[in-house]
Amino acid sequence: MTGQKDEGPHVVVLGGGLAGVACAHGLGDEGIRVTLVDRNDYHQFQPLLYQVATSQLPAEDIARPHRAIFREYPTVEIRTADVAEIDAGNLAVTLSGGDRITGSHLVIAAGARPEYFGVPGAAEHAFPLYSVADAERLRRHLQSTVHANQPDEGALDVVVVGGGPTGVEIAGALTELMAALVATERISKPGTITVVDRGSTLLAAFSRKSHKYAHKRLTEHGADPRLGTGVAAVHADRVEFDDGSSIRTRTVIWGGGESAASVVGSATGLTTGRGGRIDVQPDLTVDGHPHVYAIGDVANIPAKDGTILPQLGSVAQQSGAWVAANILRELHGEKAEPFRYKDKGIMAMIGRNAAVAEVGRHRHQMEGPLAFAAWLGVHAMLLSGAHSKTDAFMSWAWDYFDRDRAATVEWSATPQRIAWGDDSADVPHIIVDRGDSTTPAGSN
Ligand SMILES: Cc1cc2nc3c(=O)[nH]c(=O)nc-3n(C[C@H](O)[C@H](O)[C@H](O)COP(=O)(O)OP(=O)(O)OC[C@H]3O[C@@H](n4cnc5c(N)ncnc54)[C@H](O)[C@@H]3O)c2cc1C
């Protein structure tokens, strides 16, 4: 590729997550030329990362090759490459190998990365949970700890940083994993699971009823929420808190926050705001660049009430589809329209048989199977961008939710699969330890 601008519309999409895939689908459906660039050859589904980390799903089940997703889209070209630089003024990206791709439009959909807020040792020693590689790295670490564990008291103790949905979901799954490992006599005593958060509740974005539900469910299953506590430092063998206390642990899981993907730092001329994310106009364009859009987790997308929309799968997917529609409007000589988000609610799975959801304008609160059904509907919709067989996901998920498999944890290489029915050519190339990433951290 050269730096020359192409004849006719050519949309360069940086990032093949929920936002980028939805955008490329919308444009590809209309025969518009798209180049989708992602450092991975696959799309990954973050809401099920904790399932991979706790050996309940193989990583391949939540990662689908971009080439398979766009097989029927002749105008969508996939480039598997790291983008080193964004040149918004020239509607171009530069790849780490030096190639430059220039389009008539540029869509930035590079997602997020863990934010360690400068906590010493966190980037080096904590396990983030933002990519399938992160989840797989954590799974292997837990597995090797268990194999080496029996004589080593406390080796399986885990500290989860962050009491939001990511922290609560992984903590819930870990309590079940520990119970299963004890029941199957792989360990004699469960490791402790401590969930640390600076705030005064778990699931702060939810209602008080959901705070209580999450707290009760986690504590009943043996987790220990430690609220009003900040992390001061993470070491290889312990974590220190800001009240001077510490916990010995070799497993600190970081769900403590996120900021924009690091490639945003390479961009010139873009305004960034909260979380280092790109501030966008109501029509999702970047101020001063009418042909540059930012969508999904990488963007601060204004809501109708002046707040910023949360970093959620539905926001990412809908903003991607909206940008495709706005580009098409422009190509037809029409005006771009302000993004209208259809709020799907907020929800979290706290383990088998336990979920909370708050949906609708008045945030109607649901727990248990009803909440799970709401979760399932929303997540099947999110998965539909990458998979046509969402019924396979539905049937796996009901099975997971319903069944008490606490004593039959798939600790081996054969977890219960989602019956996607993909052929063997559709296997993604998941590289757990890249040369360019650090261990254990390394997302985006
Ligand atoms: C653990 C976890 C659980 C979650 N659970 C839920 C949930 O239950 N429900 C929900 O609605 N939302 C959930 N979310 C949020 C949701 O997953 C995100 O909002 C959504 O995936 C964002 O989509 P995106 O396309 O903006 O970014 P991403 O999906 O992160 O995609 C960004 C893409 O850009 C690529 N990329 C980044 N930088 C570069 C570069 N320099 N060069 C090349 N490629 C690059 C990445 O490889 C990636 O494929 C969860 C998030 C996490 C982390």
Q: What is the structure's pLDDT at 412? A: 54
Residue 436's pLDDT band, with cuts at 50, 70 and 90, is: very low
Q: Lowest-pLDDT range, 32-46, 183-197, 281-295?
A: 183-197
3-state secondary structure of 261: coil
| Cβ within 8 Å of residue 183, ≥6 positions away | 406, 407
Return the CA Rg of the chain. 22
User: Average of pLDDT values for 374-388?
Assistant: 92
> At residue 442, does pLDDT exceed 60?
no
Per-residue pLDDT tens over the stretch 121-132: 999 999 999 999
> At residue 360, does pLDDT exceed 60?
yes
CA of 190 from ligand 1 middle (Å) equals 32
Question: Mutation test of ligand 1: which of 35, 46, 169 has the most ligand atoms closer than 8 Å to its C-beta?
Answer: 46
Question: Mutation test of ligand 1: which of 42, 134, 444 has the most ligand atoms closer than 8 Å to its C-beta?
Answer: 444
Tokens 């900021």 sit on residue: 259
Residue 408's pLDDT band, with cuts at 50, 70 and 90, is: very low
The answer to whether residues 267 and 86 touch, using CB atoms and an 8 Å cutoff, is: yes
User: Average of pLDDT values for 386-406?
Assistant: 79
State the Cα–Cα distance between residues 159 and 250, nearest whole angstrom.
9
235: its two tokens: 């070491």
Peptide bond into 369 cis (omega under 30): no
State the Cα–Cα distance between residues 214 and 207, nearest whole angstrom.
11
Q: Which numbered atom of ligand 1 lies nearest the CA of 296?
A: 26
> At residue 434, does pLDDT exceed 90?
no
| Sequence-ordered alpha helix ranges (H) in 241-349 | 313-331
Between 224 and 395, whose confidence is greater? 224
User: Average of pLDDT values for 115-138?
Assistant: 96
Backbone angles phi, psi at 167, to 5 degrees: -65, -45
Q: Lowest-pLDDT range, 31-40, 165-174, 345-354?
A: 345-354
Q: What is the structure's pLDDT at 411? A: 54
pTM of the model: 0.94
Residue 435's pLDDT band, with cuts at 50, 70 and 90, is: very low
Per-residue pLDDT tens over the stretch 142-188: 988 888 755 466 789 999 999 999 999 999 999 999 988 888 888 88
Q: Provide DSSP, 265-284.
A: GG-BS--B-GGGPEEB-TTS
User: Average of pLDDT values for 365-392?
Assistant: 91
290: its two tokens: 């009418």
Peptide bond into 440 cis (omega under 30): yes
Q: What is the structure's pLDDT at 149? A: 57
Nearest to 418 by CA among 398, 437, 438: 398
Q: Which residues pair with 86 in a beta bridge?
A: 93
What is the spatial order of strands in the sheet that 127-128 belongs to?
Answer: 127-128, 251-254, 158-161, 193-197, 223-227
181: its two tokens: 């490992």
Q: Provide DSSP, 186-233.
A: S-SSPPPEEEEESSSSSSTTS-HHHHHHHHHHHHHTTEEEEES--EEE
What is the DSSP code (8-state) at residue 301?
P
Q: What is the structure's pLDDT at 103? A: 98
Q: Which domains does the chain have, with CATH numbers?
A: 10-114+259-331 (3.50.50.60), 122-256+345-411 (3.50.50.100)
Q: What is the structure's pLDDT at 405? A: 53
Q: What is the structure's pLDDT at 419? A: 78
User: Average of pLDDT values for 320-332?
Assistant: 98
Nearest CA to ligand 1 atom 26: 296
- What b/e sequence results for 114-142 when a residue is b if at least 16 CB atoms lie within 10 Å of its CB, and e otherwise? bbbeebebbbebbbbbbbbbbbbbbbebb
Between 17 and 416, whose confidence is greater? 17
User: Average of pLDDT values for 16-21?
Assistant: 98
Q: Which residues pair with 280 in a beta bridge?
A: 286
Q: Which numbered atom of ligand 1 lies nearest the CA of 344?
A: 11
Residues 134, 140, 141, 146: what is their CA dihedral angle, to the nearest 10 degrees? 150
State the Cα–Cα distance between residues 370 and 372, nearest whole angstrom.
5
Cα distances (Å, whole numbers) of residue 62 to 98, 381, 383: 31, 14, 9
Q: Which numbered atom of ligand 1 lies nearest the CA of 43?
A: 49
CA of 334 from ligand 1 middle (Å) equals 31
What residues flank ligand 1, with Cβ below 6 Å? 15-20, 37-40, 46-47, 49, 82-83, 109-112, 129-130, 165-166, 261, 263, 296-298, 311-314, 316, 444
Q: What is the structure's pLDDT at 146? A: 83
